[in-house]
Structure 1
Amino acid sequence: MHRSDIERARNAWVYRGQKRPAFALTPAPGQESVWDYPRPPAYVPDPRPVEIYAGERLLARSEQAIRVLETGSPPAFYLPPEAFDQALITPAARRTFCEWKGEAEYFDVQGSEDRIANALWRYPRPTAEAKVIAGWFGAYPSLLRCFVAGEAVRAQAGGFYGGWITDEVIGPFKGEPGTGHW
């Protein structure tokens, strides 16, 4: 993507976490509003145990995650490559581009019953701002069973997004019906 296209995409975002919009829910004690998350995203280490299952197979386990906090979206959790059972992961042809993180490559996962297409992604050569997640894997909770400190993760709406919804985060979230203009 050309630099001017990246700048145009970055500048198109109306909400950047400086002020919570009127439609945002108010967090209760112990909760976070995704509307307080910044843009560009923040990369926050998270020591809680994270587990990811492909069907009944344990795909990954780690207590060394990075939560990517980006305005309007539930956090995306990234785990280091060594947390994954690499025998279950196969490179896929899909590629996408994020104006904040760079080009993502995708991976299929062999579940306990079937192959799950494009279930993981990573940024092998991210932007300088995202270098902390270079080579780390993100996972779609819509395709895999994900847990944070034992809590089952709910998937962010919309097939493109990989946010992890837990009880600690409130929205509304990008990807839900009527949020296309966010």
Structure 2
Amino acid sequence: MFDRRPTPETPGPGQESVWDYPRPPRAERMKRHAVLRHAGAVVAESDDLVRVLETSHPPTYYLPRTAFSDGMLAAVERRTFCEWKGIAHYVDISVPGAEPLRSVGWWYPEPDARYPELTDLVAVYVAPFDEIRLDDELVRPQPGGFYGGWVTDEVVGPFKGGPGSQGW
């Protein structure tokens, strides 16, 4: 079933519409501050991020693998394929004293040649974490649980992922 493209929200001052993002996606390096927390621990922290912008999606942020606390990332067998970026490998994140966050992050060990800036960087789903902050703003998950976008006040949608958005 085809789901018609929705009417984009009008961005306000300092905001971006995800409907102005390109397809294929664009990756861009950014100097922003991200902190991922879970079970009372800082899982990762970095000022060196790459954000991926794709039509109808809030940005997905990638952090250097070195930003993750020692011993918290564990490779798992799960793989998915992105038509743009290539084969994604997944990781569990283990915080001492807490249940592991299963397949919560992914990276592209050999990203498509169009995305060299993604090499050795990890993206994560927002929802399983106790808290993710981008420049002190609490990040919200992209709707639906399938995509890894980070929703902040600087982006407007509607966002792909929720009910009725499959055909966007």
Is TM-score (shorter-chain normalized) higher than 0.5?
yes
Deviations 1:64-121 (A, max 9, x none): 0011011100000001111111311111111100001000000001135211101110
Q: 1:101 maps to what in 2?
A: 85
Matched, 1:172 2:158: yes
Residue number among 113, 122, 129 corresponding to 2:107 in the alignment: 122
Letter in 2 for 1:154: R
d(CA) in 1 for partners of 2:112, 2:19:
23
Equivalents in 1 of 2:57, 2:6: separation in Å?
16
Give, in whole Å, the separation in 2 of the partners of 1:105 and 1:139: 12
Q: For the residues of structure 2 that align with 1:39 and 1:57, how far apart are their CA atoms?
A: 36
TM norm structure 1: 0.86
How do 1:83-98 residues align onto structure 2 when only pairs under 5 Å count? 83-98=67-82
Gaps of 5+ in 2: none
Summarize the Cα distance change of 1:95–1:178 in structure 2 as closer, same or farther, 3 Å threshold: same
For 1:95 and 1:55, the matched residues in 2 are separated by 26
Q: Which runs of 5+ in 1 are unaligned?
A: 1-20
Q: CA RMSD in A?
A: 1.6
Aligned length: 164
Task: Work out whether 1:34 is the aligned partner of 2:18.
Answer: yes
The structural deviation recorded for 1:159 is 2.0
- Residues 22 and 158 (structure 1), Cα distance of their counterparts in 2 relative to 1, 3 Å cut: closer
Which of 54, 58, 72 aligns to 2:56? It is 72
Bigger helix fraction: 1
**Cα distance, 1:22 vs structure 2:** 6.1
Q: Secondary structure of the equivalent of 1:82?
A: helix
- Structure with more contact order per residue of length (Cα contacts < 8 Å, sep ≥ 6): 2
Instruction: Please give the secondary structure, in 1, of the residue aligned with 2:71.
Output: helix
Q: Which runs of 4+ in 1 moved over 6 A?
A: none
Please say if 1:47 is aligned against 2:47: no
**Does structure 2 retain, via aligned residues, the 8 Å contact 1:54–1:109?**
no
Aligned sequence identity (%): 44
* CA–CA distance in structure 1, aligned partners of residues 158 and 58 of structure 2: 9
